[in-house]
């Protein structure tokens, strides 16, 4: 076992994680943006490690995210109780219909559109990060950018605290490999109309480095 595989989207997130994570058995890899790329890259990394006889013991999706106003503050830390594919489905006159409500069998869906965090890993991080907000983290392929779409998404997912673009893809790869998974995010901006001037990316990356210190506690929790 080679410890944790920590997957981020971009190099800046990976560098932030490395500033806080000291576990020498952990590997931090930026794999790209979006659920498809993140999932494929994570699956390849897991397969290569297993083939080399050095399988990982757990997988973490880490990075910055947008947060739902009133549910988590900019600069705050989020732990995903589950990672959910929020825009996998179909439009209808009545609104968005999740893919698991379209009459497809579980086999056609590959299981579920939401992956729960591993209870042991989540509990360990909650203990190490008592100020973190726990809730559903949505995975989207298109970042929410209007007040109307933000309102609709918040109403559809009342337990959601943040949205990002990779968690569900990474979670599926980990689940397919039979490995425990958890998602850790820090908030750079409120979800809604895009205002790059209001983003606090530097602060969110600094917060990610601080939160990443908690990942050392997972070393004994991986298998």
Encode pLDDT of 24-42 as tens digits: 999 999 999 999 999 999 9
Residue 1 confidence class, pLDDT cut points 50, 70, 90: very low
Q: Quick one: average pLDDT of 156-177?
A: 95
Cα–Cα distance, 217 to 26 (Å, whole number): 11
Neighbours of 150 (CB within 10 A): 19
Query: pLDDT for 45-79, tens place per residue?
Result: 999 999 999 999 999 999 999 999 999 999 999 99
> Which pair of tokens denotes residue 173?
């790869």
pLDDT of residue 177: 95
Strand ranges (E), the chain: 4-8, 27-30, 58-67, 77-85, 89-90, 97-98, 114-116, 133-139, 160-164, 181-190
Under the banding of pLDDT at 50, 70 and 90, the label for residue 195 is confident
pTM for the structure as a whole: 0.89
**Complete domains list, the chain, with CATH:** 4-220 (3.40.50.1580)
The token pair that represents 10 in the structure block: 């971009």
């Amino acid at each position: 076992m080679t410890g944790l595989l920590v997957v981020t989207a971009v190099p800046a997130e990976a560098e932030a994680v490395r500033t806080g994570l000291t576990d020498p058995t952990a590997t931090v890899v930026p794999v790209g943006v979006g659920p498809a790329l993140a999932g494929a890259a994570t699956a390849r990394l897991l397969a290569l490690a297993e083939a080399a006889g050095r399988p990982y013991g757990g997988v973490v999706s880490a990075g910055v995210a947008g947060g739902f106003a009133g549910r988590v503050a900019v600069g705050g830390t989020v732990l995903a109780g589950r990672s959910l594919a929020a825009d996998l489905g179909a439009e209808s006159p009545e609104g968005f219909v999740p893919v698991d409500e379209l009459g497809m069998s579980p086999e056609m869906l590959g299981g579920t559109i939401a992956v729960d965090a591993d209870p042991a890993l989540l509990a360990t991080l909650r203990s190490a990060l008592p100020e973190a907000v726990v809730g559903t983290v949505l995975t989207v392929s298109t970042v929410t950018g209007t007040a109307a779409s933000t309102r609709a998404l918040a109403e559809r997912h009342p337990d959601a605290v943040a949205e990002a673009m990779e968690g569900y893809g990474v979670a599926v790869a980990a689940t397919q490999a039979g490995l425990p998974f958890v998602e850790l995010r820090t908030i750079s901006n409120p979800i809604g109309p895009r205002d790059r001037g209001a983003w606090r990316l530097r602060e969110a990356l600094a917060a990610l480095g601080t939160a990443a210190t908690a990942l050392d506690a997972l070393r004994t929790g991986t298998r």
